A and B are shown apart, each in its own frame.
Chain A
Amino acid sequence: MTDAEIRAIVLELIGDIAPEADLASARDEDDIREIFDLDSMDFANLVVAIHDRLGVNIPEAHYNQLFTLECAIAYLHDALTQPKQNDG
């Protein structure tokens, strides 16, 4: 899966959680919690959605590695190419 595909999927999942979010305006370095107004429950739901869609089980201790799009893409890219380390 390419980084562009991962990016599109993450944004789509955010769109499901925050339907009013302006996804097109997101810059990769922005904190997605800030720009999309995601609270703790929203972020937990995003992690659930990523697990359902991509099969990546992100441990709670790694949540802070998904706060920006660029970090989330890098994290998921790694997880998808080394599935054994992250598959839960």
Chain B
Amino acid sequence: MSAFKMPALGADMEAGTLVEWLVKPGDRVKSGDVVAVVETQKGAIEVEIFLEGVVSNILVPVGARVPVGTVLAQIEGAEGAAPPPPLEPAAAALKPAPQVLAQAPPMPAITAPSSRLKITPAARRRATALSLDPTMIVKGTGVEGSIRLADVETYASGAKLARCPAKIGLDLSQMRQAIAAAMSRSKREIPHYYLTETVDLHAASTWIERYNAEKTPVERILPAVLFLKAAALALREQPHLNGAYENGAFIPSSSIHIGWAISLRGGGLIAPAIRDTDRKSLAELMAAMRDLVERARRGNLRSSELTSPTITVTSVGDRGAESVTGVIYPPQVAIVGFGRVVARPWVVDGRIESHPLVTVSLAADHRVTDGHIGGLYLAAVGRLLQEPDKL
């Protein structure tokens, strides 16, 4: 028997609300299955399980808000399950349970002694059978507002609909708080150092223009795809920028999963992982980015996408600022920024020419690396962008 717990979907998450179970007792699950939907400050996240076995018990009902680490369900025969993604246990370890409980906001009515709830036995049985939390039913139609069987049925049929606005409409003020918490922690705990490098994009721009000219709109790629691939390949040369700093030590990651920063219209930011960024083709990367943007804005990301980034890349696009220096997202140890592509004078063989340029920045954790490694990394990104056909 193993416990399936509320995951920590990033350094800034303390609790989550279970909005949907996609499995029921008796269902067989395998590693990677999406088993629940959890509402967080980052929207509704599809939570995957990294255990293999049969769901024996569902312990947290729909509608309940519980701290990170709370056992959500028990899985029978979960021995020998596939390992969780590399950074997940590390991220969870950052938040020891007592601390989480102390910081977690007051629990909603779910924790109130159930004897105080006015509910008929039939209604209670039905609610249990439906895995519903009876305290979520605010309007009982029985004596003194007690909850009757009919109220449970009405709630059960309407619960899905009632949840929809919450799933789609992201609470941006809550997300702002989550960003503030993570960034404050980053600025407090991580001794950042910053470097920038101006990179000539003449070769890359010419290449991408030619590449896109032969393609239909859906096959075309954005300059950000080249940036992402170059940033990923350069990490193979400087692996100390790729991983997590936890419990006083740096844990390098053998895989390169870049968290790609996506700005949500109206405010907010999220950086889900593109797994094995260095091993994907440019077309695959473009498809992955398109998919992530769409799902991030709908509030439809998966838990592993939020827990697995090993570094973050932010590319501001053609309406952003000329350069961006990021704040590291803990427990990562570096963030790479690409500014807007601008045409500027550039010296080529002693002559001044107009070239498209981009300012590439690195903010990195001084506990792990210093400016020498950082400089070599930026030089590698610049070098790789000179040969776009090899990316």
- Min CB distance, A59 to chain B, in Å? 7
A60 touches B293 (CB 8 A): no
A48 touches B318 (CB 8 A): no
Q: Cβ of B265: which chain A residues have Cβ within 8 Å of it?
A: 18, 20, 37
Determine if B266 is an interface residue (Cβ-Cβ < 8 Å). yes
Binding site for B on A (CB under 8 A): 18, 20, 33-34, 37, 39-42, 44-45, 47-48, 50-52, 57-61, 88
Task: Identify 28 residue pairs between A and B in the complex whose beta-carbon atoms are under 8 Å apart, listed by A's number.
Answer: A18-B265, A20-B266, A33-B319, A34-B319, A37-B266, A39-B263, A39-B317, A39-B319, A40-B222, A40-B223, A40-B224, A40-B317, A41-B224, A41-B289, A41-B317, A44-B217, A48-B218, A50-B217, A51-B216, A51-B217, A51-B218, A52-B218, A57-B216, A59-B213, A60-B209, A60-B213, A60-B220, A88-B216
Q: Cβ of A57: which chain B residues have Cβ within 8 Å of it?
A: 216-217
- Min CB distance, A18 to chain B, in Å? 6
Determine if B212 is an interface residue (Cβ-Cβ < 8 Å). yes
- Min CB distance, B194 to chain A, in Å? 24
Determine if B290 is an interface residue (Cβ-Cβ < 8 Å). yes
A44 touches B317 (CB 8 A): no
Q: In whole angstroms, what is the CA distance A59 to B318 when docked? A: 18
Q: In whole angstroms, what is the CA distance A53 to B220 when docked? A: 17
Q: Which residue of A lies closest to B265 (CB)?
A: A37
Q: In whole angstroms, what is the CA distance A60 to B25 when docked? A: 53
Q: In whole angstroms, what is the CA distance A48 to B218 when docked? A: 5
B217 touches A47 (CB 8 A): yes
Closest A-B pairs by Cβ, 9 of them? A40-B317, A48-B217, A51-B217, A47-B217, A39-B317, A60-B212, A48-B218, A37-B265, A40-B318
Q: In whole angstroms, what is the CA distance A73 to B170 when docked? A: 33
Interface string of B195-220 (1 = CB under 8 A from A): 00000000000000100110011101
Q: Cβ of B220: which chain A residues have Cβ within 8 Å of it?
A: 44, 60
Q: In whole angstroms, what is the CA distance A50 to B218 when docked? A: 11
Q: Cβ of B209: which chain A residues have Cβ within 8 Å of it?
A: 60-61
- Min CB distance, B297 to chain A, in Å? 8
- Min CB distance, A9 to chain B, in Å? 16
Q: Cβ of A88: which chain B residues have Cβ within 8 Å of it?
A: 216
Binding site for A on B (CB under 8 A): 209, 212-213, 216-218, 220, 222-224, 263, 265-266, 289-290, 293, 317-319
Q: In whole angstroms, what is the CA distance A37 to B290 when docked? A: 17
- Min CB distance, A52 to chain B, in Å? 8
In the complex, which of the residues B218, B224, B289 has the most CB atoms of chain A within 10 Å of its own CB atom?
Answer: B218
- Min CB distance, B390 to chain A, in Å? 22
Q: In whole angstroms, what is the CA distance A20 to B220 when docked? A: 26
Q: In whole angstroms, what is the CA distance A18 to B220 when docked? A: 21
In the complex, which of the residues A41, A57, A60 has the most CB atoms of chain B within 10 Å of its own CB atom?
Answer: A41
Query: Given A18-B265, A41-B290, do A58 and B217 touch, yes or no (CB 8 Å)?
Result: yes
Q: Which residue of B lies closest to A36 (CB)?
A: B265
A-B contact sample (20 more), CB < 8 A, given A40-B224, A42-B293, A57-B216? A18-B265, A33-B319, A34-B319, A37-B265, A37-B266, A39-B318, A40-B222, A40-B317, A40-B319, A41-B224, A41-B293, A44-B222, A47-B217, A50-B217, A51-B217, A51-B218, A52-B218, A57-B217, A58-B217, A88-B216
- Min CB distance, B237 to chain A, in Å? 28
Q: In whole angstroms, what is the CA distance A59 to B217 when docked? A: 8
- Min CB distance, B206 to chain A, in Å? 13
Q: In whole angstroms, what is the CA distance A44 to B216 when docked? A: 11
- Min CB distance, B203 to chain A, in Å? 17
- Min CB distance, A60 to chain B, in Å? 5
A41 touches B218 (CB 8 A): no
Q: Cβ of A44: which chain B residues have Cβ within 8 Å of it?
A: 217, 220, 222
Q: In whole angstroms, what is the CA distance A57 to B214 when docked? A: 11
Q: Cβ of B224: which chain A residues have Cβ within 8 Å of it?
A: 40-41
- Min CB distance, A74 to chain B, in Å? 19
Q: In whole angstroms, what is the CA distance A50 to B175 when docked? A: 33
Q: Cβ of A48: which chain B residues have Cβ within 8 Å of it?
A: 217-218
Q: In whole angstroms, what is the CA distance A61 to B214 when docked? A: 12
